[in-house]
Amino acid sequence: MRAESFPRRQFLVGRPAVGQARIRPPGASADGLKSCTGCGLCAERCPTSIIRLVDDLPSIDFAFGECTFCGECKAACPEPVFQEEAPKRLNHVAVVTEGCLARKDIACQSCGESCPDQAIRFRPRIGSPFLPELNGGMCSGCGACLQVCPVGAITLRARAVEAADV
């Protein structure tokens, strides 16, 4: 597993590393964030405490939990930051990397057990631990699998843009 460069100063002040994409709360668009005043009500009302203000804008940090798509952030926001109907998925999917314990012949299924969408299934192998297979179409991007992985072998990638969306 490759160690990511993360300056200590950015870690201590809670700022994302340069080049790290901001993960917006569900239903918050890039245009909507221009209306954000940085009041922090969305972060206060988040029941899983995953919303943090980074540069006075809401950002999701999955190190603290998962998104349940409850809509509390939208309900608390006094500005037009969020879409009328909050989506039930985020604009990224989880990816199981080569650092996965099962790929190193160590039995582990913690990501699949924590996935509320059942997007991570395990393919049996003879004489070895089952291998995780992630169905990107079923993945809501909630982040439940990220915090439970004991070796941090799960990352996020942007969803592929569908041809109909172009």
Residues 69-122: pLDDT tens digits?
999 999 999 999 888 887 888 989 999 999 999 999 999 999 999 999 999 999
Beta bridge pairs of residue 155: 95
Q: Which domains does the chain have, with CATH numbers?
A: 8-76 (3.30.70), 92-165 (3.30.70.20)
Q: What does the block give as tokens for 26?
A: 């569900």
Side chain identity at 13, as an amino acid letter? V
Place of tokens 């395990």: 122
Beta bridge pairs of residue 82: 28
Q: How far apart are CA 162 and CA 166, in angstroms?
A: 7
Is the predicted pLDDT of residue 164 greater than 60, yes or no? Answer: no
Q: How far apart are CA 103 and CA 75, in angstroms?
A: 42
Side chain identity at 78, as an amino acid letter? P
Residue-level pLDDT at 161: 60
